[in-house]
């Protein structure tokens, strides 16, 4: 009888062991699935925030292109470059100077180059365009690189030859920006030749941000004015922000991009959520800049009175 009980007890214990193992396996699988779900949500958060930034940036860049061609392009075609001064003299700038052919040419090249970069650069970043039309991507890339080269060289001319004395902080900022453009352009081309596509795309993104510094400078300026006014800070053009933003208009986007690379490749879920949040704030500030900048551009294009 006792032997029978012992046998039954042993059999019951043996039956429990597989069940225990099954429970442990189930728990491990559930934990793994939970981690994968959290990782998936973090990845989606980063992905959709990036898409939000890109679409917003695309709107701003293409409108900037429209303004550049409508204002500078039209004034050159109609031989009415004196009108530049009507708009910019209130900022203490006289872009057009009678008799200064090389200086006026450099300014036109710099302005039109910024518009072309804003339009063509965005097309280089769209995966569908890049994958479906590789020849267009290549040709557009050559045009883009040629344009950013002209953008940098014309910037050097305007700072160091046309207005060499005294060199102001914005001139130093423009010079550093031009050096970064040429350096990043070289690395982008070199990596493309070496077929290192992953790093080529990274340096192409860096080139995109530094070559679009003119637009970022303007959006940041108007974002500061708009948000500052909303918060009751009474912002003015003499504020220290504008000196810092001369450098920040390309340094901040580069830092944000580097954080994005880290979060996407090696970051934890917390880092990905934090990056998504920062990118969302960055995008909203950019949109606030558009809210102030686009009406200003429309007034310039219509020839109406410009007020702040």
Q: From residue 105, how far is each of 25, 81, 176, 224 by CA, in Å? A: 73, 11, 22, 31
Whether 31 maps to a domain, the answer reads no
φ/ψ of 234, rounded to 5, equals 50, 60
Whether 219 maps to a domain, the answer reads yes
Per-residue pLDDT of the chain (308 residues; tens, 9 = 90+): 455 545 555 555 555 555 555 566 555 655 554 555 656 899 999 999 999 999 999 999 999 999 999 989 888 898 888 888 887 877 777 889 988 999 999 999 999 999 899 888 888 888 888 889 999 999 999 999 999 999 999 999 999 998 867 678 889 999 999 999 999 999 999 999 999 999 999 999 999 999 999 999 999 999 999 999 999 888 988 899 999 999 999 999 999 999 999 999 988 899 999 999 999 999 999 999 999 999 888 888 887 666 65
Whether 135 maps to a domain, the answer reads yes
Whether 173 maps to a domain, the answer reads yes
Whether 242 maps to a domain, the answer reads yes
Whether 22 maps to a domain, the answer reads no
Count up the domains in the chain and report the number: 1
Counting other chains too, the contacts that 46-49 makes at CB distance below 8 Å and 24 or more residues apart are 46/260, 46/263, 46/264, 46/272, 46/275, 46/276, 46/279, 49/276, 49/279, 49/280, 49/283
φ/ψ of 195, rounded to 5, equals 65, 20
Whether 103 maps to a domain, the answer reads yes
Instruction: Give the tens place of pLDDT for each residue, 205-264.
Output: 999 999 999 999 999 999 999 999 999 888 988 899 999 999 999 999 999 999 999 999
**Can you read off the two tokens belonging to residue 101?**
């052919």
- Give me the domain span that covers residue 227: 46-302
Whether 84 maps to a domain, the answer reads yes
Interhelix angle 101-125/197-211, rounded to 10 degrees, is 140
pTM: 0.83
């Amino acid at each position: 009888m006792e032997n029978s009980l012992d046998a039954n007890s042993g059999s019951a214990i043996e039956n429990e062991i597989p069940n225990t193992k099954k429970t442990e396996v189930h728990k491990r699988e559930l934990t793994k699935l939970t981690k994968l779900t959290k990782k998936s949500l973090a990845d989606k958060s980063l992905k959709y925030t990036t898409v939000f930034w890109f679409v917003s940036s695309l709107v701003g860049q293409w409108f900037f292109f429209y303004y550049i061609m409508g204002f500078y392009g039209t004034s050159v075609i109609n031989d009415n470059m004196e009108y530049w001064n009507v708009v910019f003299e209130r900022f203490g700038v006289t872009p057009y100077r009678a008799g200064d052919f090389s200086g006026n040419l450099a300014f036109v090249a710099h302005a039109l180059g910024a518009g072309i970069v804003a339009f063509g650069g965005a097309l280089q970043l769209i995966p569908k365009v890049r994958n479906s039309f590789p020849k267009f991507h290549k040709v557009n890339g050559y045009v883009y690189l040629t344009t950013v080269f002209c953008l940098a060289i014309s910037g050097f001319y305007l700072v160091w030859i046309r207005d060499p004395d005294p060199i102001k902080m914005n001139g130093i900022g423009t010079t550093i920006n031009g050096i970064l453009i040429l350096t990043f352009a070289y690395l982008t081309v070199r990596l493309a030749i070496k077929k290192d596509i992953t790093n080529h795309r990274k340096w192409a993104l860096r080139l995109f941000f530094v070559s679009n510094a003119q637009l970022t400078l303007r959006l940041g300026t108007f974002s500061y004015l708009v948000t500052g006014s909303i918060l009751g800070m009474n912002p003015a053009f003499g504020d220290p922000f504008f000196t810092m933003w001369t450098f920040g208009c390309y340094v901040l986007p580069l830092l944000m991009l580097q954080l994005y690379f880290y979060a996407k490749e090696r970051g934890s879920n917390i880092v990905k959520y934090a990056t998504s949040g920062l990118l969302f704030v960055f995008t909203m500030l950019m949109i606030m800049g558009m809210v102030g900048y686009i009406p200003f551009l429309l007034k310039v294009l219509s020839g109406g009175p410009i007020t702040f």
